[in-house]
A and B are shown apart, each in its own frame.
Chain A
């Protein structure tokens, strides 16, 4: 018992050290009060440490320490993700918007503002959303890094979708500096019946903290495809908060290749009947790689469907984590919940840690979950080799096949093909 105050003190000290670097959050403009409130949440919760139940599988130190550890900029000759896709490009370099490299943000069916540009105005449509979904997502599990983000975000995009824009919106995160520590906060509001695809890609920073809040109105559709940058030493904490109205659709897919530490949290609330939420991820890690997918889906309406599909390929001591929860509230009848997390361990040194959870208060629901870890199927490998496919190509083919289930969650086939190409080039580069 004597230990406890001491541990609390450590948490408080760590939080104060981080806040000392960040200073006071901006108090002015339409987002000022949300930022102040978020900072109070953060102080109350304290930054996470290894003793928090929600962080039991990974050490969050790299994401919470006062200064970001430097990460060398990874240069390679490969094309970047989504290069061949026609899209509206908005480029951030080490978190700073690069107008010259970006497209004109004007497009029919959508209004795009930059947070930093409109921060000082008194009224903005995002006022009722900025930090709101993040705050709602703090219960029952605290997410201090998201509160930190709301309080201190330096920039981000505010996207109001009123129709069906002809091109996807693509956030491109480049980096030049070894020591960048970046906090970006995006808000997307999709009006009833509207539809948009949002893409994110690139390494962004030595340390990146992003929050994406998405409010999807009745009958609206939101697609999200993300490829996190391949820089080996980069660290990232991302939060995706989504609220779904009646008959709306949310689909999100993330590819992670490399990165020393990545924590991707996804918090979804199905609040309107007949809504659909799919969240999927594929990751490939070699060596010093820790990747954590933490998902919380709340069913609070009738006849909704949710689906979580996560696949991880791990080698040379890489670590994969999956914490996934489906909460079905009382009255959320006819819920259809599916959750699968699988890892392919390419050697005996790598590990996969999974905590699938179901919490159900309605009596007429179908929820299933599964989690597996395994090596390459030796029989399949021999079958391929007996047909003349060399061992390494055969292993790569089976690895791609393993990830295919998650990648096929991407509705757009061109995007899915692009993602598979990323994985192939990663496998080429990481020969055993």
Chain B
């Protein structure tokens, strides 16, 4: 599904190398988790995959089902099936949440040569998805993320994911700023989307999110590289001993 090879990335405006040869493959139907200390390059990896500006790829490649992601515009990556759940979802005053969702879905369908969804059809479709995430009609009417609580913003990210139905989901610290109940709600939303044809890359600091979204593979990232890969037990090891032991061990 997602194949990253020797990805090297620096900041565009500064001579600062962030990613130093990331190798990673996420298979369809699998959930991969990336854990790592602050500044290890986790969020940068998610931004570079989704096409945010400000970064320069100096070497390596990233493909989604064989298509070269790095050569595409952000919107083309989305239409190709990539989705990034933001760590800090953006507020857009003046744009209603429904308008936002419908514009996004129809833009993707159009890019893929599919028919646009009618307003009535769409309304029914969104309401159904929103219900399971406990997002009420009021939240759908409000401007995108404006005045939303931390939990509401994250639920709104998962709603977008449910509506857009991407092939490859990247979740950037989706657990940050969530209390236990909100985290459970978000995790349920993600788990409902797990299926054979879809891959997940879950980026997190803490093991607790992985209690709810059970990963198949756990990677430890440090200083711009994947330094260790293992099963779910690796996340538990981090939880008990911190990153220091693992980092010492790989060095």
Contact = CB atoms under 8 A, between A and B. Distances in A.
A408 to B, nearest CB: 9
Contacts of A405: 94
The CB with the most chain B CB atoms within 10 A, among A379, A400, A401, is that of A401
A54 interface: no
Q: How large is the interface on B (under 10, 10 to 19, 20 to 34, 35 or more residues)?
A: 20 to 34
Contacts of A398: 92, 94-95
Contacts of A394: 75
A82 to B, nearest CB: 23
Nearest to B92: A380
Contact of B92 (A378, A385, A386, A401): A401
Contacts of A101: none
B94 A384 contact: no
Interface in B222-251: none
A397 interface: yes
B141 to A, nearest CB: 14
B78 A385 contact: yes
**CB-based closest 9 A-B pairs:** A401-B94, A388-B78, A387-B104, A388-B108, A385-B74, A383-B90, A404-B94, A385-B75, A401-B95
Interface in B190-247: none
A385 B103 CA distance: 11
B62 to A, nearest CB: 15
Contact of A388 (B79, B86, B91): B79
B104 A389 contact: yes
B107 A401 contact: no
B164 A388 contact: yes
Contacts of B78: 385-388
B95 A397 contact: yes
A389 B75 contact: yes
Interface string B129-151: 00000000000000100000000
Nearest to B95: A401
A382 interface: yes
Interface string B163-194: 01000000000000000000000000000000
A394 B74 CA distance: 12
B73 A385 contact: yes
A377 to B, nearest CB: 8
Given A378-B53, A379-B90, 7 more contacts: A382-B74, A385-B74, A385-B78, A386-B51, A386-B84, A390-B107, A398-B94
A402 interface: yes
B39 interface: no
A359 B57 CA distance: 56
A404 B92 CA distance: 12
Interface of A: 377-380, 382-391, 393-394, 397-398, 400-402, 404-405
Nearest to A407: B94
A388 B107 contact: yes
B160 interface: yes
20 contacts: A380-B91, A382-B53, A382-B74, A383-B86, A384-B92, A384-B104, A385-B73, A386-B74, A386-B78, A386-B84, A387-B100, A387-B104, A387-B107, A388-B78, A388-B79, A389-B103, A398-B95, A401-B92, A401-B95, A404-B94
A409 to B, nearest CB: 13
B203 to A, nearest CB: 15
B123 interface: no
A70 B3 CA distance: 63
Contacts of B95: 397-398, 400-401
A398 to B, nearest CB: 7
A383 B103 CA distance: 13
Contacts of B93: 401
B151 to A, nearest CB: 19
Given A382-B52, A382-B53, A388 B104 contact: yes
Interface in B80-112: 83-84, 86, 89-95, 99-100, 103-105, 107-108, 111
The CB with the most chain B CB atoms within 10 A, among A379, A380, A386, A398, is that of A386
Given A382-B52, A383-B86, A393-B103, A388 B111 contact: yes
A394 B73 CA distance: 13
Contacts of B91: 380
Contacts of B94: 398, 400-402, 404-405
A248 B229 CA distance: 72
Nearest to B105: A388
A386 B69 CA distance: 13
Contacts of A391: 73, 75
A388 B51 CA distance: 11
Nearest to B109: A388
Contacts of A389: 75, 103-104, 107
B8 interface: no
The CB with the most chain A CB atoms within 10 A, among B52, B53, B73, B95, is that of B95
B50 interface: yes
Given A393-B103, A400-B94, A401-B95, A387 B164 contact: yes
Given A382-B52, A382-B53, A393-B107, A387 B92 contact: no
A384 B78 CA distance: 10
A400 B94 CA distance: 8
A397 B164 CA distance: 19
A389 B103 CA distance: 7
Contacts of B104: 384, 387-389
A78 to B, nearest CB: 22
B92 A388 contact: no
A397 to B, nearest CB: 6
